[in-house]
Amino acid sequence: MGNHSNYFHLHMVSDSTGETLMTIVRAATAQYENIQPIEHVYPLIRHDKQLSRVLEEIESAPGIVLYTLVEQAYARRLERKCQDLGLPCVNVLKPVYQVFHSYLNVTETWRVGGQHVMDEEYFQRMEAMNYTMLHDDGQIAGALEEADVILVGISRTSKTPTSIYLANRGIKAANIPLIPNMRPPRQLLKARQPLVVGLMATAERIRDIRQNRILSLDAKSDNDTYVDRKSIAKEIAMSKRLCAEHGWPLIDVTRRSIEETAAEIMDLLRKHKNELKETEEY
């Protein structure tokens, strides 16, 4: 990459969805403040003609090449082309394969898209996703006892995206908004099996998100308290009191990503399930 440019071409070649590559790339590029990759993603590369088009694209826009190709003939062809062009080309899973092979003394089965097989875990994720979408924002409160996790919090505390992330991990997640001057649903207060977790953020953070939300919708708020800092602070205090009264853990999401919040919730859920199991044994 030239010294005068902060942009570079980044080619991601996969015989599956390409999600693994994109996750790795985002994690890596996040460590460099002053560069911006121009991403070229080539998923589901499983035929010679597809790979030929990819090689043409790489030649026309040289840059870093990362790949996950199970078919070794395709991998060798891609690597030879990059070598001829003088470009870096990396099989991002190769170091992981080598560690597994040396430590476990097992060989690879080389299944394309093996992580996406429609097994029991897959259907569990689909069931969790369906449940979560049906129980978003307080919908169908009567089925809350079926949830693994119930997230509660005032408006704009990332309840929905966190619920969807958890569902993608096979966790049935409902979320309930806490609304000023309104009692939470009776079913929430009576729930015993699910883990209930409160989400909160600073008043400044919530105010900024709510203001941006109104602007993005090109709408005017008829209720000034929705974006009033003092009113928001009262909402936060109300949610804190509710969580304290019921012994619900409370997570401050102000400076947390969705992934970080979900990781803490999953850890809490493991402990919660262990406690339920111990109670049942007694």
Given a cut of 90, whether residue 218 has pLDDT beyond it is no
Domain ranges for the chain, please list them.
7-114, 120-281
Distance of CA 213 to the CA centre of its chain: 21
29 is in an annotated binding site: no
Q: Which pLDDT value is given to residue 3?
A: 46
Categorise residue 88: left if φ over 0, alpha if ψ from -120 to 50, beta otherwise: beta
Is the domain covering 7-114 a CATH 3.40.50 domain?
yes
The confidence band for 4, taking pLDDT boundaries of 50, 70 and 90, is: very low
Mean pLDDT of all residues in the chain? 88
Read off the pLDDT band of 112 (50, 70, 90). low
Residue of 48 and 97 predicted with greater confidence: 48
Query: Letter for the amino acid at 218?
Result: D
Question: Per-residue pLDDT for 160 more than 90?
Answer: yes
Identical fold at 7-114 and 120-281?
A: yes
Nearest-angstrom CA–CA distance, 89 and 86: 9
Q: Is 76 annotated as a binding residue?
A: no
The percentage of the chain sitting over the pLDDT mark of 90, rounded to a whole number, equals 63
> Is 160 among the annotated ligand-binding positions?
yes
Q: What angle do CA 237, 164, 118 make, to 5 degrees?
A: 155
On whether 153 is known to bind a ligand per the annotation, the reply is yes
Average pLDDT for residues 46-52, to the nearest whole number?
93
> In sequence order, what DSSP letters do the residues of 20-69 get, joined into one string?
HHHHHHHHHHTT-TT-EEEEEEE----SHHHHHHHHHHHHHS-EEEEEE-
- pLDDT for the residue numbered 111: 60
Whether residue 60 is annotated as binding a ligand: the answer is no
Flag whether pLDDT at 203 surpasses 80. yes
Whole-prediction pTM value? 0.66
159 is in an annotated binding site: yes
Q: Which of 248, 240, 254, 208 is nearest to 227 (CA)?
A: 208
- The reply to whether 77 sits in an annotated binding site is no
Length of the chain: 282
156 is in an annotated binding site: yes
Architecture of domain 120-281: 3-Layer(aba) Sandwich (3.40)
